[in-house]
């Protein structure tokens, strides 16, 4: 499928803060592509824009990738033969490469002051032409350049974009793409502080790290013609490109913080499972060509292909994520749910409640089909951890009649005769009591449910009674009789 013998892909974030869900998707697609083809997945930190650098962002990134299960084969902390994998540690390499371009005159030094550039920009704006460097420094003589350097005038290095050239490249997702060189600015490659810009560092590293496929977000598509030219200037072979579709809010605007969370860590803090988030993010722009929506990471690796990534923007639908979270949660083995429930309990108001594993496993069994998040076990099933503080007033109005107290008293009487009752024992006792009062068993079921749980819904009432146990159930029934009469 490719001219490259080994598939080598990279995720190349800039450490400017948290990992965006769009970044997670880029990382994931690179990871899936590498794993599927037995390739190598590289993490490279693109930290050459010192003005946007955020402390701890690299640690945070690495930790978030680790949480999501996207382990990389080469990168910071891992090492690898083609490192270092942090761009600020590669400045000498970029300098050598910029010199190569200067020598072949595909790049030139520019001494224009920020003031001059600003005036130029304003003037172009007034004339309604798109801002572009006017090449004032392109014609400087060798002597002038040396003179300026001697005076210590700060300079940048710009690439010399060829005139009237159509730049063509192939994109796995977008097919053939064309840009006219007339649209391109003489891009700064090296800043006056000796740091390369994104474009230079990115291309040099992709080449030196032997990247076979550049898989990244669509927002970088307009940079690609400059990169293609740089590959040509250096005489290097192009990698394959694949530009992933934009992520959109449901109103089709660009996915933004204003309409919801965009940081992976926010979803993590809200209790989303990594499996669900990864599954969800995988479907943002890719589809398997079938109706399947639930995927394990293993299944994603098997089925993923760049050819099935769409061009059209992908809508971020939080309901789908919630649904996937419930699906992934339900399919977790009991022991894992138990561990997660214990962790959640330790962080909750019920941290002092003592329940053994057997009790918690029963709660899990009863609630599994009713929860989307681990915390739902605690929030929707709070009555498993403490007696109801209050009773749902709407249910009281509907289900608590004048005759209910005497019926419940009788039912409590029946329950108290049972020894180590099973669910069936509760059921038989309730049926007998209903018969005595000539009412349907539903009448008593609703009343006893309200009494022991305080709410009108939930797992089967015999399950609840069985889990709470006879003594606790009786206690709650008596309390309700007292408080609701």
Instruction: Show which residues are catalytic.
Output: 257
- The minimum distance between CB 46 and ligand GLU, in angstroms, equals 4
Q: Shortest gap between Cβ of 217 and ligand GLU (angstroms)?
A: 7
From the list 207, 211, 224, 208, the residue with the least C-alpha distance to 173 is 224
Q: Quick one: which of 106, 202, 382, 404 contacts ligand GLU (CB under 6 A)?
A: 202
Token pair in block for residue 106: 């595909």
Stretch that binds ligand GLU, among 11-19, 62-70, 120-128, 293-301 (CB under 6 A): 11-19
The residue among 281, 348, 294, 361 whose CA lies nearest residue 326 is 294
109 strand-pairing partners: 157
Of 37 and 44, nearer to ligand GLU (C-beta) is 44
Looking at the Cβ atoms of 46 and 275, the one nearer to ligand GLU is 46
CA 359 to chain CA centroid, Å, is 34
Count Cβ atoms below 10 Å from residue 335 Cβ, excluding itself: 10
Q: Closer to ligand GLU at the Cβ: 10 or 274?
A: 10
93 in Cβ contact with 208 (< 8 Å): yes
**Inter-residue contact 380 to 371 (CB < 8 Å):** yes
Query: Pick from 8, 14, 468, 473: which binds ligand GLU (CB under 6 A)?
Result: 14
Fill in the per-residue mask, 41 to 80: x = in contact with ligand GLU (CB under 6 A), - = not in contact: -----x----------------------------------
- Tokens 């540690």 identify what position? 89
Distance separating alpha carbons of residues 419 and 298, to the nearest angstrom: 49
Q: How far is the CB of 43 from ligand GLU (least distance, A)?
A: 11
Distance (Å, whole) CA 55 – CA 43: 18
Q: How many residues does this entry show for the chain?
A: 485
x/- map, 213-242, ligand GLU, by CB under 6 A: ---x---x----------------------
Of the candidates 212, 190, 249, 183, which has an alpha carbon nearest to the alpha carbon of residue 42? 212
What's the half-sphere exposure (Cβ side, CA atoms, 13 Å) at 426? 22
Q: Which stretch binds ligand GLU (CB under 6 A): 6-14, 150-158, 169-177, 438-446?
A: 6-14
| Among the residue ranges 8-16, 111-119, 160-168, 313-321, the one whose residues contact ligand GLU (CB under 6 A) | 8-16
Site string for ligand GLU, 172-201 (x = CB under 6 A): --------------------------x---
Interacting stretch for ligand GLU, rule CB under 6 A, among 9-17, 27-35, 245-253, 407-415? 9-17
Closest distance to ligand GLU from the beta carbon of 120 (Å) = 28
- For every residue of 136-194, DSSP letters joined together read TTTT--HHHHHHHHHTT---EEEE-PPSS-EEEEEETTTEEEEEEGGG----EEE-TTS
Q: What is the CA radius of gyration of the chain?
A: 32
- Coil, strand, or helix at residue 135? coil
**209 — phi, psi (to 5°)?**
-90, 5
Dist CA 187 CA 173 (whole Å) = 26
Residue 410: both structure tokens together: 């009788």
Query: Closer CB to ligand GLU, residue 202 or residue 433?
Result: 202
Q: Find the shortest distance in angstroms from Cβ 209 to ligand GLU.
A: 12
Q: Closer to ligand GLU by CB, 231 or 350: give it.
A: 231
Cβ distance to ligand GLU smaller for residue 159 or 430: 159
Cβ-based nearer residue to ligand GLU, 89 or 416: 89
Q: State yes or no: residue 12 binds ligand GLU (CB under 6 A).
A: yes
Under rule CB under 6 A, how many of the chain's residues touch ligand GLU? 8
Nearer to ligand GLU by C-beta: 198 or 316? 198
To ligand GLU, the closest distance from the beta carbon of 308 in angstroms equals 21
Is the Cβ of residue 13 or residue 76 nearer to ligand GLU in the bound state? 13
In the numeric block, the tokens 């309409």 are attached to 259
The least CB distance from residue 54 to ligand GLU, in Å, is: 12
With contact defined as beta carbons under 8 Å apart, do 229 and 167 qualify? yes
Instruction: From 298, 255, 307, 263, select the one nearest 279 (Cα to Cα).
Output: 298
Strand pairing category for 156-159 and 107-110 = antiparallel
- Binding piece for ligand GLU, criterion CB under 6 A, among 10-18, 71-79, 170-178, 306-314: 10-18
Stretch that binds ligand GLU, among 7-15, 145-153, 176-184, 347-355 (CB under 6 A): 7-15
Instruction: List, in order, residues 6 or more apart from 174 with CB less than 8 Å away.
Output: 221, 243, 311
* Residue selected from 7, 8, 9, 13 as contacting ligand GLU according to rule CB under 6 A: 13
How far apart are the C-alpha atoms of 31 and 12, rounded to whole Å? 12
- Interacting residues with ligand GLU (CB under 6 A): 12-14, 46, 198, 202, 216, 220
């Amino acid at each position: 499928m490719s001219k490259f013998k080994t598939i080598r892909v990279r995720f190349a974030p800039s450490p400017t803060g948290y990992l965006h869900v769009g970044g997670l998707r880029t990382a994931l697609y690179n990871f899936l592509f590498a794993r599927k083809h037995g390739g190598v997945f590289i993490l490279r930190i693109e930290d050459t824009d010192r003005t946007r650098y955020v402390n701890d962002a690299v640690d945070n990134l690495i930790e978030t990738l680790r949480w999501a299960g996207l382990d990389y084969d080469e990168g910071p902390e891992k090492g690898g033969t083609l490192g270092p994998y942090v761009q600020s540690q590669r400045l000498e390499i970029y300098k050598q490469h910029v010199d190569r371009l200067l020598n072949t005159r595909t790049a030139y030094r520019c001494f224009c002051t920020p003031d001059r550039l600003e005036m130029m920009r304003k003037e172009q704006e007034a004339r309604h032409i798109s801002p572009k460097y006017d090449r004032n420094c392109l014609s400087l003589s060798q002597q002038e350049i040396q003179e300026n350097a001697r005076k210590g005038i700060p300079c940048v290095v710009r690439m010399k974009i060829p005139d009237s050239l159509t730049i063509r490249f192939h994109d796995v997702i977008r097919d053939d793409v064309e840009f006219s060189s007339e649209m391109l600015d003489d891009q700064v490659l090296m800043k006056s502080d000796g740091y390369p810009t994104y474009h230079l560092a990115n291309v040099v590293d992709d080449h030196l790290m032997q990247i076979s496929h550049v898989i990244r977000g669509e927002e970088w598509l307009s940079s690609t013609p400059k990169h293609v030219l740089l590959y040509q200037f250096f005489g290097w072979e192009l990698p394959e490109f694949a530009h992933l579709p934009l992520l959109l809010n449901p109103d089709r605007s660009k996915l933004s913080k204003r309409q919801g969370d965009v940081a992976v860590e926010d979803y993590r803090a809200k209790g989303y499972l990594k499996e669900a988030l990864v599954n969800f993010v995988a479907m943002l722009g890719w589809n398997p060509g079938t109706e399947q929506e639930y995927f394990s990471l293993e299944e994603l690796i098997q089925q993923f292909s760049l050819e099935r990534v769409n061009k059209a923007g992908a809508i971020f639908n939080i309901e789908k994520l919630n649904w996937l979270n419930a699906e992934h949660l339900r399919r977790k083995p009991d022991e894992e749910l138990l561990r997660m429930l214990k962790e959640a309990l330790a962080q909750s108001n019920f941290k002092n409640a003592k329940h053994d594993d057997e009790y918690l496993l029963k709660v899990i069994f009863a609630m599994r089909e009713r929860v989307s998040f681990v915390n739902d076990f605690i929030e929707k099933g709070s009555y498993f951890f403490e007696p109801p503080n209050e009773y749902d007033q709407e249910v009281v109005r509907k289900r608590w009649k004048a005759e209910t107290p005497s019926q419940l008293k009788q039912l409590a009487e029946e329950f108290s005769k049972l020894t180590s009752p099973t669910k069936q024992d509760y059921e038989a006792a309730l049926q007998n009591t209903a018969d005595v009062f000539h009412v349907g068993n539903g009448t008593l079921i609703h009343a006893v449910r309200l009494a022991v749980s305080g709410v009108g819904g939930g797992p089967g009432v015999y399950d609840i009674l069985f889990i709470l146990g006879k003594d606790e159930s009786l206690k709650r029934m008596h309390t309700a009789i007292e408080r609701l009469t």
